[in-house]
Chains A and B, each alone.
Chain A
Amino acid sequence: MTDTATEQSRGDLLTIEGLGHVYEGRNRFEAIGRLDFTVPEGSFVSIVGPSGCGKTTMLRCLSGLMRPTRGTVRLHGDEVHGVPRDLAIVFQDYSRSLFPWRTVGGNVAFVLPRRSMSPEERRARIEESLDAVGLAGSADKYPWQLSGGMQQRVAIARALAYRPRIMLMDEPFASVDAQTRAELEDLMLSVRDRFDMTILFVTHDIDESVYLADRVLVLSKSPSTIVASIDVDLPRPRDQVATREDEDFVRLRSEIARMIRDQSTKRAPAAVPPAA
């Protein structure tokens, strides 16, 4: 927008300014009120909020899949119109995001450019990506032959192979069991270190948001705004047992839980706020 805005966004990979979205039509619905935040390069930012806080709308606007009604999204200072090359998304619904007619390796290969990469480079990239998610040797299977957690690993490998600067993750582990979830969380932390990836992670799970992130953004109900931005200074590498029993972890998760509860009770009867 202004020179000062670009000035401030140095070191920030993703900059969101005054983002708002209203679904027009007969049931006019303001999903996002106003969002302003930044995602610094190399950081892991979690977004957590009560159910129905417009997270999916927000992610679609951030990624350029949808045009927001108001505000701007900048990636590296360039305004986002359409999905930028440096961005990849891992969706919640892996079974509808992976292509069932392609093998695991074929799904990963599908996002690689055919022209600018030699077959050897492609093969190496596929191998590396599958190896990073612990699926080396599963390249010839079909996604539907794998468990849910494994399928989501394929989706993560596919996003990694694309070599984005930032990965948006939309409640990626919401539909896997608790144990698999813990494994996948640790997988994301190792992947982030290995590929020096910037990650914006949307979740319902407060513990997960704290466990993973450097910073947690707490959203309000729709029309969503940011209630709090909380820096997480827990030591790394994080550990599923030790980190979760750390006093600071417990304090942070309680603080966030309280905020979200307040959000949910504040306007409890109006699950879908009517148009003003």
Chain B
Amino acid sequence: MTAVAARPPRVRTPGPRTRGGGSSRLRDFAVRWGALLVLGLLWEVAARFFASPFFPPVSRILERFAELWFTSDPASFFLTERVVTDLLPSLGRLLGGWSIAVVAGVLLGVALGRSRTLAGYVEPIIHFARAIPPPALIPIFFILLGIGDEMKISLIAFAVVWAVLLNTIDGVRSVETLHLDTGRVFDFSRAKVFFGIVLPSASPKIFAGMRVSLSVALIIMVISEMAASSQGIGFNIIIAQRTYRLLDMWAGILLLGILGYVLNALLAAVENRVTRWHRGAREGVS
């Protein structure tokens, strides 16, 4: 018996999903952040050389970024008022819409994945609905739900539910027949089959859907705020641009980048924990 023998040669994957230990991890880290640092320096030099008002140097963007979002006041956890008025509403819409989409997508996906007949009726509708670019629906959501948070959350949920839904259907359909037979042999209840076999089997695919959904949710959040809003990161960027506060605009864009990166990293960490067995079983030793 050999427990976890030599791993296959490591392929460097983008994003924070790369595993490995010690020195190679450190090297990965250096390579990835080093490249970003070089890009930043190039920008800095080019911006100072051309001195275009539209592309300020990185150092000034960072400075403005710090000004906008951080204070020296420990009473407010070193964060400015703007975090509450702009970042939190955006984050709330993003996560609200995404969570609704995940729950709805998984529930509906399981139902459709288990019933071929039902799926036969519904799938054409799904494929049509998901082909519509969500921003095109802003006017309709606007008419139906106004310009408040309901509109934005619903739009985000609508836009991102498809990836979760289709992945869940796929995942549920790929449950091993022998696992289900095993459940029957050992007299599992329906709930036990669902939570104990179907959901874990489908979880790697569900997580893949959730990750795609999360990045789309960020996009839709920004678009909806740019189209109709009175606060939020997207609103701030568009207003800054219209009033020639270009540093503010760039600081907002930087914040969005960081936000997307951090959220994705968090989700990847959760996924890593929950579906660790999946990679192990794939690389499996026997």
User: Contact residues of A with B, CB < 8 Å?
Assistant: 63, 65, 82-83, 85, 87-89, 91, 93, 95-97, 99-102, 110-111, 141-148, 150-151, 158, 162
Is B75 in the interface zone, CB < 8 Å from A?
A: no
> Hey, which chain B residues are within 8 Å of A88, CB to CB?
185-186
> Hey, which chain A residues are within 8 Å of B182, CB to CB?
91, 97, 99
Contact of A99 with B185 at beta-carbon distance under 8 Å, contacts A93-B178, A141-B3, A144-B285 already known: no
> Hey, which chain B residues are within 8 Å of A85, CB to CB?
187
> Hey, which chain B residues are within 8 Å of A100, CB to CB?
277-278, 280-281
Count of inter-chain pairs, beta carbons less than 8 A:
73
A65–B186 touching, CB < 8 Å: no
Interface positions, chain B 178-206, Cβ under 8 Å from A, are 178-179, 181-182, 184-187, 196-197, 200-201, 203
Is B284 in the interface zone, CB < 8 Å from A?
A: yes
A146 to B197, CA, bound (A): 21
Residue of B nearest to A135 (CB): B1
Shortest CB–CB separation between residue A23 and chain B, in angstroms? 16
Q: Is the interface of A mostly helix, strand, loop or mixed?
A: loop
Contact of A99 with B200 at beta-carbon distance under 8 Å, contacts A65-B184, A85-B187, A110-B186 already known: yes
A162–B186 touching, CB < 8 Å: yes
> Hey, which chain B residues are within 8 Å of A93, CB to CB?
178
A147–B2 touching, CB < 8 Å: yes
Residue of B nearest to A98 (CB): B182
User: Contact residues of B with A, CB < 8 Å?
Assistant: 1-4, 176, 178-179, 181-182, 184-187, 196-197, 200-201, 203, 275, 277-278, 280-281, 284-286
Contact of A142 with B185 at beta-carbon distance under 8 Å, contacts A99-B179, A151-B286 already known: no
Most chain A beta carbons < 10 A, residue from B3, B4, B203: B3
A145–B3 touching, CB < 8 Å: yes
B184–A83 touching, CB < 8 Å: yes
Partner of B1, one of A65, A96, A101, A150: A150
A147–B286 touching, CB < 8 Å: yes
A100 to B4, CA, bound (A): 14
> Hey, which chain A residues are within 8 Å of B179, CB to CB?
96-97, 99
A18 to B64, CA, bound (A): 85
A87–B3 touching, CB < 8 Å: no
B277–A101 touching, CB < 8 Å: yes
Considering the complex of A and B, which 7 residue pairs feature the smallest CB-CB distances, nearest first?
A100-B281, A111-B186, A144-B284, A96-B178, A144-B281, A101-B277, A101-B200
Residue of A nearest to B196 (CB): A110
